Structure 1
Amino acid sequence: MNSALVVARKDFEDAIRSRGVLLVSAVFVALFVFGAYFFADQVSQAAQASAQSGGQQGGDPVDSDAFLRTLSSGVTLLVPIVAVVASYSAVIGERASGTLKLLLSLPHSRRDVVLGKLLGRGGVVAVPAVGGLLLSMLVFPLTSVALAPLNYVAFTALTALLGLVFVALSVGISAAASTGRRAVVGSVGSYLFLLVFWNRAADPIVGRLSDALSWEPATTVKASLTLKLLNPLGAYSSLVAALSAESTALARASVTGGIQLSRRAGIVQQIYAQRLTEEGIPFYLTDAAVLAYLLVWLAVSAVVGYAVFRRADL
């Protein structure tokens, strides 16, 4: 483990010297801090406009949870992309340049290299994301938007975990790939598949299984949600929704159409949530289970990549 930490520290120190990491840090800080400022400004302007038009300033108070719901869609796109770009060459880059053999000639095993790269590149992605989010928390006490600190910290932790999952996926592919091109195609292709194609394929697959096995409607709903939650992007979105949703059922149903305020949830979400409420939330759709799906992605990606890398002829 100490050897892996040495690799991780060196990898992280090398990465933070690059302009790319500085640019990523600036993007995260700008997105989160200025996003929080503009959100609070819009809320303030809406309240003033309502007061000037004779409307009531009361109603539902706006807190930072509304900002997190707005921000989560952008995070789902940006953080995995940054993780992929930062990690796809983690191992194959060293292998192609010949420095991997030098690294392995030191008291580092192949397992130490993969684990060290995972930790090092994970820090490269997580540190600016977490730093940007924590800095954005400081905006709300200066505005009329109430800060929900526990939910904000939980959102920050989930965002860091999402970044680590895609770092693990890219590092695993980088370790398993034999060329840089294959590492790029594998990492980018995996992200696009999870983002674009996974959910589109989920309902047709479940529909065919439901017809073939004569499932009850409630079983079909649970199967559809479970398959979508096995996607790390879906798991992250649902856990973020759970921070402010009125019920766990609505949080799980959010994967059918994105995170929305429960009062404005789409018809499909409402139907799915009602089915879950009537039948009860099974253990595999609880918050703990969905969090476990993310952790499994992290662990399996690294383990599979290492298993291939261990047998590779360098």
Structure 2
Amino acid sequence: MIPRPPMVKIAISSCLLGEKVRYDGRDKYNPRIVENLAPLFSFIPVCPEMKMGLGAPREPMNLVRPRDGRVELVTVKSKRNLTTLMQAVCEQTMPELARACVSGYIFKKGSPSCGIEGVPLYNEEGEKVDEGSGLFVHALRSFFPNMPIVEESDLGSIEVLISFAEQVVAYEEWAAIYADGFTPTRWGSFHSRYKMKLLAHSRPHLTKMGKLVAQGGGVGFEDRLQEYGQVLFAGLQVPATRKKHTDVLYHFYGHIKSIASTEERTAILSSIEAYRQEQESLRSPWLALKEVLQKYQVSWALKQSYLSPGPAALWFSKEGRGIVDR
């Protein structure tokens, strides 16, 4: 069994943590990301350029596509080709991230190494001809095809922060089980835990996942697991909405309406309706339901990842308390 860390780990561009590693010798410290996510996750700072031994400050670089169609990493003034050096760093770093059990990655936008999209691509004459992703990102996507990744500029709202955190926690659990060895039984248990979470994001993805699980083991089991993982993380990227959350809350309510007191049922229904009508945040009905579910020990519901601590803590933060569109 592979030991798992006590706190879920996220890799992050070093400059976002305040390290002065950018080409101009400065940092891009992002207090909003750090302050919101540090209580939930352990950060692993990574800067490919520093691992390449380039230092800071350094000559800036661009992505260049020669006439043969390859994408290369080239310094702007001296035209030094650093592609091979970057590839070596990628080959070294990906296994390091795997051994560290990293479950997500936050990248700095626009970097020729770490930009996820929209990175300018130039021809040999210095003319912009296209856009793409950084070389380090490309390598990471190949090595970790389902790992949640995001640019810091995309984490501009508490809703997106919560969504990313949910994906990271799901990836950590999925990767841990995968490393220990999936069986049809363990697969079914995982799927059961994530039903309500997926229902809050995408019913079509949940339906497809259920059909894969229903086929069980036997021939093609590994292929179905791979496909399930792809569908799972694609589904979690679909934005959760107020309507979908309301449906999930009412589903949970259905498990306690025959055992809860009249006062408890009235309070929960009132809270759900207030949330549905945009008078309260998700925090209120979530807490009310969880309290009653725990009181009556509704085991199926309490096992749901939707009710697990972790990303839900962001709903209760000062910044997240006023959420109205989840």
- The TM-score with structure 2 as length reference comes to 0.28
Q: Comparing both chains, which one has the higher relative contact order based on Cα–Cα distances under 8 Å and sequence gaps of 6 or more?
A: 1
**Structure richer in helix, relative to its length:** 1
- The TM-score with structure 1 as length reference comes to 0.29
**Structure richer in strand, relative to its length:** 2
